[in-house]
Amino acid sequence: MLMPASPIRKLVPFAEEAKRKGRKVYHLNIGQPDIKTPVQALLAIRNFDLPVVEYSHSAGFASYRQKLSDYYRGLNLEVNSEQILITTGGSEALLFGLMSCLNPGDEVIIPEPFYANYAAFAIAAGAQIVPVTAHIEDGFALPSPEAFAEKIGPKTKAIVICNPGNPTGTVYSEAALKALRDLVLEHDLFLFADEVYREFVYDGQPFTSTLALEGLEQHLILVDSVSKRYSMCGARIGALITRNAEVYQAALKFAQARLSPPTFGQVASEAALDAPASYFTEVVQEYVHRRNLTHRLLTSIPGVKAPLPGGAFYMVAELPVADAEAFCAWMLTDFEWNNQTVMVAPAAGFYRSQGAGKNQVRIAYVLNETDLEQAMECLARGIAAYNRLKA
C-alpha cells in the first residue's frame, strides 16, 4: 500500500485509450531510446551456442565482471572484478545497496527532483526519504553542503545522487562533488551514486565519477547499467560497484537469494563492451542535436521555462498551467492535433516535498528529429487550447 505509482507510467492507460481511438502518441514520458543497440551485443545473442541456459554465479559471470573492471580502468577508475556485483538492472543494484546499508527507520537524503523509483526502493528497504530541493532557476544544480547539512539528523545514514541527472539532465561539477564527499566523510554516511548516464555529457563538460574521489573507499556504492549506455533497456543488466567488502558481502547475500542475473542479458552486455568508441561519438552527437532542437522549440512556447540540460536525455520544464498532471492527462484524453498528441511525465512525482513541481514536466528527448518537431508542435497547441479552456 505504501508503494508509490510511477509518474512515468501512471498515465499509460490514457495513452492506450488514445491509441485505440487511432491517435498517434509521441512518447516523451519514458527514457526508452530509439538508438540502435550495438551490433556486437545482438550478434552475441544470435550466436549463443551453449546447450543449456544455466544459472550464472550470483555475482554475475566472472568474464563479464573482469571485462567491466577493464572498462572502468580504461576511464582511470581503479575497480577490480571482486568489487563488481552484476544485478538485474541498475534498479536492483540500488535496491540491494539500500537494503545492505540501511535498517528500517533510517533516513536517506536525496536531491529533488529525483528518479521516482528511488522512493519505491527506499520504501522497500524500510527507509525514509528526506528531500533537499534543487531549483529550476539555477539549472537544478547540486544543493549546497549547507543545504544537505540542514537535513542531517541522528537517523541519517546515506545520501543518494544521480549524475548526470534523471530527470533534470544536470551534470554535477567536480567542486560540488568534492564538497559533498567532505560532508559524507564528516558525518560518516554512505554515498549512493547513480552514474548510468556517464557517457552522455555534452558541450565539452568534464565528467567526474565519484569513483575518482579519494576518501570514499568505504562509503561509496556506485550504481551502473547497460540500459541507456548501450540502448539495451530490455536486457535488464546493471551493476553494484563498491570497495567496501562488508557492503559487498551483504549485497551478495541478496543476490544469492534471487539466484543469478539474466544469462542472455549478461551475454549481450559483455559483448556490448566491444562496441567501438565511434558508437558513443555518434550517439552523443545525436542526443546533442535532439536536446538543442527540443529545448529551442520548447522554450519558444510562451510561458515555458526550461534550463538547458548538460547530460543524459531528459529535461524538466515549467509549463504555464496550474496542474501539470491534469494537463498531461487531458492531452491524452481530450486533445489531438492532426490526429496526434504527446505524452510527457508530470514532474510532481519526482519530488518528495508536498506541492513541489506541480506545474513541471519531465521530457525525454529520445525520438527522432521529425517526431520531436511534431511532439513540440502538439505540446504548444495543447497548452494554448488547455489555457483557453480553463480561462
Domain ranges of the chain: 12-36+278-390, 39-272
- The helix or strand, by DSSP H or E, that contains position 376, with its residue range, turns out to be helix 369-390
Q: Where are the alpha helices (DSSP H) in 62-153?
A: 62-74, 89-101, 117-124, 145-149
Burial of 233 (0-12, 13-18, 19+ CB in 10 A): middle
Task: Please determine, for residue 3, whether its predicted confidence score (pLDDT) is greater than 70.
Answer: no
The rounded Cα 54 to chain-centroid distance in angstroms is: 30
Identify the pLDDT of residue 390: 83
Identify the DSSP state of 236. Answer: -
Task: Please determine, for residue 374, whether its predicted confidence score (pLDDT) is greater than 60.
Answer: yes
Identify the pLDDT of residue 93: 98
Identify the pLDDT of residue 207: 97
Task: Sort strands 24-27 and 340-343 into parallel, antiparallel or unpaired.
Answer: parallel
Task: Sort strands 156-162 and 107-112 into parallel, antiparallel or unpaired.
Answer: parallel
CA atoms of 132 and 111, how far apart (whole Å): 5
Task: Please determine, for residue 285, whether its predicted confidence score (pLDDT) is greater than 80.
Answer: yes
> Domain 39-272 adopts which CATH fold?
Aspartate Aminotransferase; domain 2 (3.40.640)
How much is the average pLDDT of 62-89?
98
Identify the pLDDT of residue 391: 78
Q: Give tens-digit pLDDT for 29-39.
A: 999 999 999 99
Identify the pLDDT of residue 113: 98
Q: Give tens-digit pLDDT for 144-182.
A: 999 999 999 999 999 999 999 999 999 999 999 999 999
Looking at domain 12-36+278-390, which of 3.30.565.10, 3.90.1150.10, 3.40.190.10, 3.40.50.620 is its CATH number?
3.90.1150.10
Task: Please determine, for residue 1, whether its predicted confidence score (pLDDT) is greater than 60.
Answer: no
Domain 12-36+278-390 matches domain 39-272 at the CATH topology level: no
Residue 27's pLDDT band, with cuts at 50, 70 and 90, is: very high
Burial of 383 (0-12, 13-18, 19+ CB in 10 A): buried
Q: What share of the chain is helix, strand, coil (3-state, %, to 5)?
A: 40, 15, 40
Identify the pLDDT of residue 9: 72
CA atoms of 155 and 42, how far apart (whole Å): 46
Half-sphere exposure of 95 (CA within 13 A, CB side): 17
Half-sphere exposure of 320 (CA within 13 A, CB side): 19
